[in-house]
Chain A
Amino acid sequence: MRVLIIEDEEALASAIARGLRREGMAVDVALDGAGGLEKALINAYDVVVLDRNLPGLHGDEVCRRLAAAPSQARILMLTAARGLHDKVAGLNLGADDYLGKPFAFEELVARLHALSRRTGPPRPPVLHRRDLELDPARRRLTRDGHELELARKEFAVLEALMSAEGATVSAEQLLERVWDEHTDPFTNVVRMTIMTLRRKLGEPPVVQTVIGVGYRMA
């Protein structure tokens, strides 16, 4: 899952980013509205975490423009204004969810998972494919009932492949969804991750290579 945080409080933005990266998400940070909007329009994010009280371009305006743009990204508004009117106003601007500050980090993570399920076709909270069972919220993977340990990026790649439901996912798409903007686009990190993932998943092989296009689940 790829997340953009637009938050002018640097300490908060970096704390959230650190926590989300540990949850296996690809996280980018923007410290002002204009920069955040630019990133959100260039990159394909699953969720944008948007602070409302931003200097320069206000969060409301960012939200309005993002909601009007042909972007898939869901918007979670994060703000100190927790009153009923503020929530209603925020949601009416086009936000998909609203979380007041201060918040429990667990709740933010759960809401991000819930929102990312809504990008694209509806997805169940737990993904199944043959004998694989993947639970993104608990970060658990079992094959034939046995629990498997995966690294964060491996888990995220598998999640992306499983939610494609057998369709082919290109290496660029994987790079975009799993890694953040600081990753070199010419890297072979996707290939390396797929290799270790295959090894950990064991036999029979479930991740297939579609030569010249990408990868898909068997």
Chain B
Amino acid sequence: MAIPGRRHRRLRAPAPTVRLRLTALYGTVFLVTGTALLTVGYLLVRDNLRTHHSLRVELERLGINPVRGEFGFPPGSPEAKIIHTVEEQILGGALHRLLIEYVAALVVITAVSVIIGWLLAGRALAPLRKITATARRVSGENLGERIALRGPADELKELADTFDGMLGRLDGAFASQRHFVASASHELRTPLAIMRTEVDVALSDPDASRAELRSMAETVRDMVDRSEHLIASLLVLARSEAATGHEEPVDIAALAGDCITDLRARAQEARIRIADDLEPAWCSGDPSLLERLIANLLDNGIHHNERGGRLSVRTRVVNGRVVLTVANGGRRIDPAKVQELVEPFRRLDRSIDGFGLGLSIVRSVAEVHRGTATLIAPEAGGLVVRVELPALAPSRPASSGQVSAHRAGRARALPAA
């Protein structure tokens, strides 16, 4: 359990900040090198004085040998002793003074260097403080802020830029999460609101006619269908995002063929020609999710097509990848907006029914199978979706019966969103 007082005390203890440590380091280094330099200087000066500038040497330079020779005092004589003592006193006094001055200078300059070090460390660490302050301000609610550090391209700038990049990605992820939650709640609550209003209005009228009650009941039934459809789509999306681990060999071409057979009647109704070009393409995956992927693509291709348009489905194995391409005609889509369509609840035209979950499911299923889904908006209009999945080795025995058996057993209630 956290005791407030303790926590408080810990916060108030002087923390050995990087600035403090850097300053101490500067100071110590300066002190050590300064001391070493001054010591060397002192020793050199002392040696120099002894060997080149002592009284004896000066006198010798004048041709007088004060200790030896014919003019000098014999060694050991009182005069020689006096000369030696004077010499030692001059030398000792000068060196002592020099030592005191050196130590004083060292103290003063070290103090100055510590102050300069403190300022320099603060300056060098200022970007770090900016990064910390930004990181502290940023929260789930407010991810719009960036550090945008200016200055030379050094390590700190790199750190700030990396952090900004991470914030950008987080911002995007949070924004799409918010959009998902807002859209899901809107889509789930709208049919409830319609049902509630219909029922309330009908109940508040004691003289409601049979026809009015029937019409109310029909609206309620439609809304129940719509909610059920949406919930089923959301569940497929959730299931496709959480990999089940259940995998078996699946022939995408066989699945696509089956889906085309299922949808042929609807396509004919809308006068849409389906052109299929299916070569066996085996991959490993969850058959019901992969079937949903293909069914969603074909459903989309019919739903958003123009009357009398075309829908082409192609499977191939290229460089060890299964490639499924579904192309349909229709209105021209802004290439800048085409990638948005894989985001949940994104629809280009809200007047066309549907929730905008179909392509999100496609992407999610592709990604959980270690594949990709790419959307291309051709100039001529319509949409091309290219799904790539890792292919199984070609030696795979083609047992399409396995897939059909799965299809026969699986409830076919999964809706296209």
Contacts and interface: CB of A to CB of B under 8 A. Distances in A.
B182 interface: yes
A176 to B, nearest CB: 25
B182 A81 contact: yes
Contact of A9 (B194, B201, B204): B194
Given A12-B194, A80-B188, 4 more contacts: A12-B190, A82-B185, A101-B192, A104-B196
A19 B196 contact: no
A103 B193 contact: yes
Contacts of A16: 197
A105 B194 CA distance: 10
B115 to A, nearest CB: 50
A15 B190 CA distance: 13
Contacts of A8: 350
A80 B185 CA distance: 6
B134 interface: no
A106 B201 contact: no
Size class of A's contact patch?
Answer: 20 to 34
B30 to A, nearest CB: 56
Contacts of A104: 196, 200
Interface in A3-25: 8-9, 11-12, 15-16, 18-19, 22
A172 B125 CA distance: 74
Interface in B178-223: 182, 185-186, 188-190, 192-198, 200-201, 204-205, 219, 222-223
A81 B194 contact: no
B51 interface: no
Interface in A133-163: none
Interface in B321-346: none
A103 B200 CA distance: 10
A7 B207 CA distance: 28
Contacts of A103: 193, 196-197
B244 interface: no
Interface residues of B, number: 22
Nearest to B186: A80
Contact of A102 (B182, B192, B201): B192
Contacts of B201: 15, 18-19, 22, 105
A105 B197 contact: yes
A53 interface: yes
Interface in A88-138: 100-106
Contact of B185 (A18, A81, A106): A81
B17 interface: no
B182 A12 contact: no
A55 interface: yes
A15 B186 CA distance: 18
A134 B188 CA distance: 40
Given A55-B350, A81-B186, A22 B200 contact: no
Contacts of B261: none
B223 to A, nearest CB: 7
B64 to A, nearest CB: 102
